[in-house]
């Protein structure tokens, strides 16, 4: 043994200081999604079943009842949000967190976010009162060989992040803070309500007839605490009922609706209303370069 040790030390000193690549049993993965300006990202390792019975993973053989584990492998799974969000109803400040789950029920698992992002998966740290905590619903599903985190369908207000491994599925519903307020008080809306004749102002210099037959009518109403524009623009004819999203009491941007959900906010258009004696007489729709695209004139 005394003769082997010096030779082993010589071999180790000859090894390169860092390897350009490394094969790992549970390879590292990353994913990210932007929702209304908030970036949500995760970093995690992906263990595989490798012939194990899926039913044995969340059982005494692997992750027994009550054990706190990170939903991944190697270093703990990380969650990052660059703005404040809520997860399953719990406020989560912007920052980076390691993710831990306690297998404490068949219907839901207690989940904790810890500010220590350096923990290894074998730490099994206790969930403490200082940790951010919420419960995640658990379902039994067809087996998944490699642990997988994924994003659900994006919404204008948030997204569901889903974990699948072995025969389990859990979900974290993340809600972001809106970048614009969709509400507008009725007391201020009264000056704007009514019908407007809308004409296309900007012309195509190569086609004088372009837009000549565009003239439409817009009806502005107030419902559910929001200001609605019943209008059917040619550039995005999905639904007629769309939102006017307030920038000031008299300036708005255009929010397009689809199937009752805010689909997209067209920040390149600004509706600028003109008021006389406390009542709007019309508006201009200006583009980002301040050019007038549409002009609306009150007709009622």
pLDDT in tens, the chain (300 residues): 445 544 544 444 445 555 556 777 678 999 999 999 999 999 999 999 999 999 899 887 788 888 899 999 899 999 999 999 999 999 999 999 999 999 988 899 999 999 999 999 888 899 999 999 999 999 999 999 999 999 999 998 999 999 999 999 999 999 999 988 899 999 999 999 999 999 888 766 666 666 555 778 899 999 999 999 998 766 665 667 889 999 999 999 999 888 778 888 888 999 999 999 999 999 999 999 999 999 999 998
Q: Where would I find the beta strands (DSSP E) of the chain?
A: 28-35, 38-45, 68-69, 78-81, 85-87, 90-92, 95-102, 108-114, 132-151, 158-176, 194-200, 216-223, 226-230, 241-246, 251-258, 261-276, 279-286, 292-298
For the chain, give the number of residues: 300
Q: For residue 221, what are the contacts with CB-CB under 8 A and spacing of at least 6?
A: 193, 227, 228, 230
Calpha distance 241→4 (Å, rounded): 81
User: In 117-263, which ranges are continuous DSSP H helix?
Assistant: 186-189
Show the tokens assigned to 179: 């970048």
Long-range CB pairs of 127-131, under 8 A, 24+ apart, other chains included: 127/68, 127/100, 127/102, 131/100
**Between the CA atoms of 205, 207, 212 and 214, what dihedral angle is there, to the nearest 10 degrees?**
-90
Give the ranges where the chain is alpha helix by DSSP (H).
4-14, 186-189
Fold of 186-298: Lipocalin (2.40.128)
Residues 271, 266: Cα–Cα separation, whole Å: 11
Two tokens at 186? 């009725």
Distance of alpha carbon 95 from alpha carbon 84, whole angstroms: 8
Residues 169 and 162: beta-carbon distance below 8 Å: yes
Please report, for the chain, the start and end positions of each structural domain, with discontinuous segments joined by +.
Answer: 24-176, 186-298
């Amino acid at each position: 043994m005394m003769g082997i040790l010096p030779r082993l030390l010589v071999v180790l000193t000859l090894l390169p200081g860092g390897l350009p690549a490394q094969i790992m049993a549970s390879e590292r993965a990353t994913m990210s999604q932007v929702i209304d300006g908030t970036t949500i990202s995760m970093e995690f390792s992906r263990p595989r079943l490798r012939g194990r019975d899926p039913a044995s993973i969340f059982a005494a053989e692997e992750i027994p009842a009550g054990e706190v584990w990170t939903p991944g492998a190697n270093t703990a799974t990380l969650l990052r949000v660059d703005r404040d969000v809520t997860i399953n109803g719990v406020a989560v400040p912007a920052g980076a967190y390691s993710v831990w789950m306690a297998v404490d029920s068949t219907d839901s698992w207690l989940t904790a976010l810890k500010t220590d992002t350096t923990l290894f998966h074998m730490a099994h740290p206790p969930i403490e009162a200082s940790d951010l905590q919420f419960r995640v619903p658990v379902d039994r599903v067809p087996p998944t060989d490699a642990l997988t985190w994924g994003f659900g369908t994006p919404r204008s207000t948030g997204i569901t992040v889903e974990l699948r491994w072995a025969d389990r599925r859990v979900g974290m519903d993340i809600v972001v803070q809106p970048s614009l307020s969709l509400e507008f008080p009725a007391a201020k809306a009264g000056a704007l309500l009514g019908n407007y004749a809308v004409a296309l102002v900007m012309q195509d210099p190569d086609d004088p007839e372009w837009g000549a037959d565009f003239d439409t009518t817009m009806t502005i109403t107030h419902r559910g605490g929001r200001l609605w524009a019943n209008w059917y623009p040619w550039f995005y004819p999905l639904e007629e009922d769309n939102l006017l999203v307030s920038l000031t009491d008299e300036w708005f941007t255009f929010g397009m609706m689809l199937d009752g959900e805010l689909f997209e906010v067209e920040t390149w258009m600004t509706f600028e209303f003109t008021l006389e004696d406390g009542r709007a007489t019309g508006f201009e729709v200006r583009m980002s370069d301040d050019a007038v695209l549409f002009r609306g004139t009150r007709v009622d």
